[in-house]
């Protein structure tokens, strides 16, 4: 299924449930083609998460939930116990696709708990499908609320740098960091955006630049190596990024390269903001215990199909890094803005929940 690129991305859903199937935008094809893929097997959803057909923390959380919704339909059992054990198998396969973004585990756990609360096979099927659909709808509302809350931190005529893609394409719609930028524009302020390319997978140039340009934003693309230049030359007023996981101390796991942008922002006294829903917080783990996903070397030794490094070269390709709390000016959530000291302010957000 293919569509023209004239449709507004912000009104497209990155992932949705339609006629007992999961439909998602194939993000590996962007920005050249807007292609939708349809899945009726949770193993296909697991593959899609693994291969970045769908990516971004909230989007993979909801995709995992829809994976379990497919699993209830795929199971042919007539007993509750057997259905729950089929779901546990599916959950494990979906969970093992990507280790760093906590939203995936969060989404899977939410659905498993709901499944276990059902009494009959038919009831569980209905509960699981409805809960996954609600999770997707809630994601959009949460992003809009977070956007409004975060927009007060931005001024008219700000130029805002962002990294990776924390937009509509990383969520069900609207976005987290880009949701704050959208809400700032909706509040009547003018903003310009600088998007980093985000090597090696280029979520910045392929997805953020596409999404923002498509929605009529004034966006400029820079290579990752021009972050220091842009800041030193007064081109950046504020930075905002999303997150894959935030632990209780305020350490933020996000796309590789976020840490060096935060350090440069500190050096140039530029506010560095993070926008993420409460489902991205991991209140149990210590930063040192979180697994940073290491991806295949071919992402670094080539750009698309073009080889850009010698055969046999060793590659280190971490997908995420950790930005420590002392580099972060504020963390924007749907429940309010957390400011340092984060241990205290994050706890307060959860208590208010
Ligand atoms: O490897 P990806 O593309 O899944 O990484 C995505 C990011 O790092 C995003 O910044 C993060 O998930 C926030 S999304 C709202």
Question: What pLDDT, in 10s, does the model give residues 278-299?
Answer: 999 999 999 999 999 999 999 9
Write the pLDDT tens digit of every residue in 108-162.
999 999 999 999 999 999 999 999 999 999 999 999 999 999 999 999 999 999 9
Average pLDDT over residues 40-65: 98
Tell me whether the CATH fold assigned to 2-143 matches the one assigned to 148-352.
Answer: no
Strands 2-3 and 15-18: unpaired
Domain borders along the chain are 2-143, 148-352
Residue 158 a catalytic site member: no
Q: Is the beta carbon of 211 within 6 A of some atom in ligand 1?
A: no
Going from the Cα of 281 to the center of ligand 1, the distance in angstroms, rounded, reads 14
Going from the Cα of 119 to the center of ligand 1, the distance in angstroms, rounded, reads 37
- Options 139, 215, 244, 282, the catalytic residue: 244
**17 pLDDT higher than 50:** yes
Going from the Cα of 146 to the center of ligand 1, the distance in angstroms, rounded, reads 17
Give me the architecture of the 2-143 domain, per CATH. Up-down Bundle (1.20)
Alpha-carbon gap, residue 5 to 107, rounded angstroms: 30
**CATH, domain range 148-352:** 3.40.50.10470
Question: What are the C-alpha distances in Å from 187 to residues 145, 152, 169, 227?
Answer: 13, 9, 22, 28
DSSP 8-state assignment for residue 291: P
282: which residues sit within 8 A by CB, 6+ positions away? Answer: 102, 245, 246, 247, 248, 290
Q: Is the beta carbon of 255 within 6 A of some atom in ligand 1?
A: yes
Q: Is the beta carbon of 55 within 6 A of some atom in ligand 1?
A: yes
Q: Is the beta carbon of 15 within 6 A of some atom in ligand 1?
A: no
Going from the Cα of 74 to the center of ligand 1, the distance in angstroms, rounded, reads 29
């Amino acid at each position: 299924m293919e569509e023209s690129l004239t449709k507004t991305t912000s009104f497209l859903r990155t992932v949705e449930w339609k006629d007992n199937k999961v439909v998602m935008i194939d993000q590996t094809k962007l920005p050249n083609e807007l292609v939708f893929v349809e899945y009726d097997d949770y193993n296909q959803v697991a593959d899609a998460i693994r291969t970045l057909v769908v990516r971004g923390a909230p989007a993979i959380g909801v995709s995992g939930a829809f994976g379990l919704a497919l699993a209830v339909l795929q199971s042919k059992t007539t007993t509750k116990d057997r259905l729950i054990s089929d779901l546990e198998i599916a959950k494990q396969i979906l969970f093992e696709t990507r280790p760093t973004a906590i939203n995936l585990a969060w989404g899977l756990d939410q659905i498993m708990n709901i499944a276990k609360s059902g009494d009959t096979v038919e009831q569980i099927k209905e509960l699981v499908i409805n809960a996954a659909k609600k999770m997707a709808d809630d994601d959009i509302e949460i992003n809009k609320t977070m956007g409004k809350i975060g927009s007060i931190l931005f001024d008219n005529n700000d130029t805002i740098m962002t990294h990776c893609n924390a937009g509509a394409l990383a969520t069900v719609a609207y976005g987290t960091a880009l949701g704050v930028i959208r809400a700032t524009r909706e509040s009547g302020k003018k903003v310009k955006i600088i998007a980093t390319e985000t090597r090696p997978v280029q979520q910045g140039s392929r997805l953020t630049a596409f999404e923002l340009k498509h929605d009529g934003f004034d966006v400029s693309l820079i290579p990752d190596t021009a972050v220091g230049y842009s800041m030193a030359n007064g081109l950046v007023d504020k930075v905002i990024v999303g997150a894959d996981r935030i632990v209780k101390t305020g350490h933020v796991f996000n796309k590789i390269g976020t840490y060096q942008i935060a350090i440069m922002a500190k050096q140039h006294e530029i506010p560095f903001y993070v926008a993420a829903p409460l489902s991205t917080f991991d209140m149990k783990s210590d930063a040192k215990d979180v697994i940073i996903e290491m991806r295949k070397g071919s992402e670094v030794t080539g750009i698309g199909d073009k080889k850009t490094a010698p055969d046999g070269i060793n590659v280190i390709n971490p997908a995420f890094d950790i930005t420590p709390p002392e580099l972060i000016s504020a963390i924007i959530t749907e429940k309010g803005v957390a400011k340092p000291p984060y241990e205290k302010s994050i706890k307060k957000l959860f208590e208010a929940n």
